[in-house]
A and B are shown apart, each in its own frame.
Chain A
Amino acid sequence: MKTLTTLTLILAATSGSLSAQSAAPTLIRNATVLTVTNGTLANTDVLLQDGKIAAIGSNLRAPTGAITIDATGKYLMPGIIDPHSHMMSDAVNEGSLSVTSMVRIADVLDPTERNIYLALAGGTTTLNILHGSANTIGGQNAVVKLKFGAPVEEMLFPGAPPGIKFALGENVTRKNSRMVIIQGQGAAPQRYPSTRMGQEEVLRDAFVRAQDYRRAWAEYRAKTAKGARNLVAPRRDLELEPLVEVLEGTRLVHAHSYRADEMLMLLEVAKEFGFRIATLQHALEAYKIAPEIAAHGAGMSTFADMWGYKIEAYDAIPYNVAVTMRAGVLSTINSDDDGRARRLNIDAAKLVRYGGLTDDEALATITINGARQLRIADRVGSIEVGKDADVAIWNGHPLSVYSSVDATFIDGEVLFSREKDAAMREALIAERAELEAAEPNTLPTPSRGAGRGGPPSTDPSAEVSR
């Protein structure tokens, strides 16, 4: 487990106090508003009230008690949505079995993770936190709003449909791990499947079992509904339950995949069992089969330009999104990395260079398209009246490398602000100085009656430094 640092405590305290202010509406004045779904609005005011975007227009009136921010020369854009993250996860892979649909990322989230704050400072507000890619059918995901300082329960995105991770290719077959065994530096146990053939079979087997399970329950319910008594209900199966939800279309499949052939296999299997893949994750060779992906109706979520870090990534190209988007595939850029989650704006900008996306198309890959992939576009992903007040103020156009975030809001609350951050730094420096100047812990003096082995010092500085 991670240690709760002083910084985290301060941040938690600060954001707690912000929380108290959240009732106060915020009027952002005179910004260049990148709505994403409705173009760019120059010199525009946006009112955040009761956690929502309450109004967009010019010369909006500040409600009583509103905080007004002069955003002249600044840009307002929707909070960035990262469709592939492992942030906050105290565990990523339950990789011991080939099907671990029973495990849930939501059970292992750490809301005090420092990197949440760093992502907020990069304008990112929503993550799709996925299970790892160790097995063909992995665990259940968690979609979160990065409400740093709140308990996990309040970070889970309200109403986001549940999802599940699938994985294909090298990470599953563990060909790389075998090399590690050869080098004598470690070992990963052999596990079925170790080929792409086996991956197809694992999927087929799991969904055949899920179909049988679903049928067993359907029959039980039908008979019970007809008045049958004393029937024994099928045994609840935590592995198959989420797969039945996949079959019924209520749980989204996010499938880690690299090569075109393995993606095509998955689409075929899904079609055969009557469900649709929500997103192909990574999907580095999606550009080779863009028409097939479009026909299936799957989305794709990829890296802007990462490639060549393993064999199955060697044919990746930064034009991937340009090709899939033009073929009609809902396409997004993701980080899969806490460092990159701080600068998805630059990854989006690369798509303008590689393949000639427009600025709005590029912005959509890190905002509204992700919201659509996660089926939360009614709440986030663009600046529209009635949507959640998840926005960020940038000091320049967010597709410029020279720009950075001034403030990030979620549900109308300030979760990051450059100004407050500077104040926190000062506080931290002062606290450090105070601690360094403080008397070291000493045993209580005998004159106060507590001899050797008495209670520890109650000096407050000692308390903090523990």
Chain B
Amino acid sequence: MIRPAMHAVAAALLLLPTVLSAQLGSYNPEPGPRATVAIVNARIVPVVGAEIARGTLVIADGVIQAVGAGVAVPTGARVIDGSGLSVYPGMMDAGTDMGLTEIGSSGAAATIDNAETGNWNPNAQAIWGINPHSAHIGVTRVVGITHVVSRPGGSILSGQAALINLAGYTAPGMAVVPRVASVIQLPSQGGGRGGGGGRFGGGQTPTPAGGMSPLDSLKQLLADANAYGAAVAAHAEDSSLPRLDTDLVLASLLPVLSGEMPVIFPAESESQIKEAVAFAEEQGLSPIIVGARDAWRMTEYLVEHKVPVLFSNTLSLPSRDDDPYDANFAAAAKLAAAGVRFAITSGEGNPDVRNLPYVAGMAAAFGLSHEDAIKSVTLWPAEIFGVADRLGSLEVGKMANLVVTTGDLLEARTDTRYLFIDGRDVPLGTKHSELYDTFKDRK
């Protein structure tokens, strides 16, 4: 716009990475190999099935091999005495953009990589933007959060979220499901967003031309993708039919349109949620609502439409002046009582995702059962993302993502003694413990 400002942009772009690189180097020690480990004499909370007051859990090859009171310790296993300790499945925050932003507010723009330019980026993949060395990863996992969904934002078709383990030296190495869901920020019926046109049209597909509303443009793009999919399939069956050039944008929408890849819709108000659900039903998509501030006011609707919700507002101030003081603290309890499928997310920026257990604990303080509070951050998010066969509980055959604690999983005073991700022993050092150790004895 203004020339000096452009110079300043250039200067900032040149300067920031250099200035920040020293400061943003983080400390996430690499986990050990997938060993055979037996945790003995521990209280085990498998989440599925009854609590075991004193039992053994065996890990090998990254997988839980045995759980129970009378389980034998395999020969050669490393034995951890779990006396006085508790074993829980690792927690999952399904509402983050972990690894995509380091310092999320203004002042460090070069560390923000969570939103592509333009409106149509269904082929933007979070997994290629995640920084495995983000300092957030270390401090998050040491409270027992072992895996998260990291999703892009911005635009209308924001891109594809990744489900990642919070351990590893490469993003693909962290991936549990590298492309777990697509993200659609539904433009409101009432008007456009983000300049309305997507002039810079991300990817290869230009915005459908000529005064269409963003919502109509979105519908057009999905229709184009359907047609593209049909044409590609037709050619595959009959090679005499014309062969279309590959279109990465449209191709990336095919699993979305088939309903195979779920779609995360950020939506807060009752009307936003209903618009998203109606849109998903019209287009044959599998919706997951994230945010969902007003979900507690529309439980019947959510049950009727079988829409899963990632509730991110437990700690938000009530949004209406005449809402009860505990409207959001008690919201999860209302969802559970009504039979809504939901998971609790921290609702926090990446540095504070580590508060997830206390957020679920707050929901439990206001009516959610203790058991459901734990499920809302372990089993239920895994179910919503279709990975409950691998994650979310301590069951034989599941990925060994688990935490050994000094007490109740959701209590703020509880500490972590051991942490396993993908069956690998994760060191408990973090950027924070490093700084603590460096300065605590300074005289």
- Tell me the A residues contacting B by CB distance below 8 Å: 3, 5-8, 114-115, 117-118, 121, 170, 175-184, 287-288, 290-291, 305-311, 314-315, 317-319, 322-323, 326, 338-339, 343, 346, 349-350, 352-355, 399-404, 421, 425, 428
Which of A309, A326, A343, A353 lies in contact with B351, CB distance below 8 A?
Answer: A309
The answer on a CB contact under 8 Å between B412 and A308 is no
Cα distance A8–B326 in the bound complex, in angstroms: 16
Cα distance A323–B443 in the bound complex, in angstroms: 11
The answer on a CB contact under 8 Å between A428 and B322 is yes
The answer on a CB contact under 8 Å between B326 and A401 is no
Q: Mark B295-313, 1 if CB is under 8 A from A, else 0.
A: 0000000000000000000
The answer on a CB contact under 8 Å between B106 and A308 is no
The answer on a CB contact under 8 Å between A184 and B362 is no
Chain B residue numbers with a CB within 8 Å of A291 are 442-443
Chain A residue numbers with a CB within 8 Å of B326 are 121, 404
Chain B residue numbers with a CB within 8 Å of A338 are 317
The answer on a CB contact under 8 Å between A343 and B315 is yes
The answer on a CB contact under 8 Å between A349 and B103 is no
The answer on a CB contact under 8 Å between B103 and A8 is no
A-B contact pairs, 29 of them (CB 8 A): A7-B321, A121-B325, A176-B105, A176-B106, A179-B12, A182-B12, A183-B109, A184-B1, A305-B354, A306-B352, A308-B103, A314-B24, A317-B435, A319-B432, A319-B440, A322-B436, A326-B440, A338-B317, A339-B315, A339-B317, A343-B315, A343-B362, A346-B362, A350-B412, A352-B412, A353-B413, A400-B411, A401-B365, A425-B324
Cα distance A288–B435 in the bound complex, in angstroms: 9
Chain B residue numbers with a CB within 8 Å of A114 are 321
Secondary structure class of chain A's binding surface, majority of residues: helix
The answer on a CB contact under 8 Å between B322 and A402 is no
Known: A306-B351, A308-B102, A428-B322. Is A287-B435 also a contact (CB below 8 A)? yes
The answer on a CB contact under 8 Å between A118 and B412 is no
Smallest Cβ-Cβ distance to B101: which chain A residue = A308
Classify chain B's interface size. 35 or more
Is B136 in the interface zone, CB < 8 Å from A? yes
Chain A residue numbers with a CB within 8 Å of B411 are 349, 400-402
The answer on a CB contact under 8 Å between A314 and B352 is no
324-362 of chain B: CB within 8 A of chain A? 324-326, 329, 349-352, 354-355, 357-358, 361-362
Cα distance A35–B351 in the bound complex, in angstroms: 34
Cα distance A338–B315 in the bound complex, in angstroms: 11
Q: Mark B395-424, 1 if CB is under 8 A from A, else 0.
A: 000000000000000111111000000000
- Tell me the B residues contacting A by CB distance below 8 Å: 1, 5, 8-9, 12, 20, 23-24, 102-109, 135-136, 315-318, 321-322, 324-326, 329, 349-352, 354-355, 357-358, 361-362, 364-366, 370, 410-415, 431-433, 435-436, 439-440, 442-443
Known: A314-B23, A318-B432. Is A401-B106 also a contact (CB below 8 A)? no
The answer on a CB contact under 8 Å between A308 and B322 is no
Known pairs A311-B107, A317-B435, A404-B366; list 18 more (Cβ under 8 Å). A3-B321, A5-B321, A176-B105, A182-B8, A290-B439, A291-B443, A306-B351, A308-B102, A308-B103, A308-B351, A309-B105, A310-B106, A315-B435, A339-B316, A349-B413, A353-B413, A399-B413, A401-B358
Measured CB to CB, the closest approach of chain A to B235, in angstroms, equals 45
The answer on a CB contact under 8 Å between A181 and B5 is yes
Known: A315-B435, A355-B436, A401-B358. Is A290-B414 also a contact (CB below 8 A)? no
Smallest Cβ-Cβ distance to B318: which chain A residue = A118
Chain A residue numbers with a CB within 8 Å of B413 are 349-350, 352-353, 399-400
Smallest Cβ-Cβ distance to B349: which chain A residue = A309
Smallest Cβ-Cβ distance to A356: which chain B residue = B415
Cα distance A308–B20 in the bound complex, in angstroms: 13
Smallest Cβ-Cβ distance to B361: which chain A residue = A401
Measured CB to CB, the closest approach of chain B to A170, in angstroms, equals 6
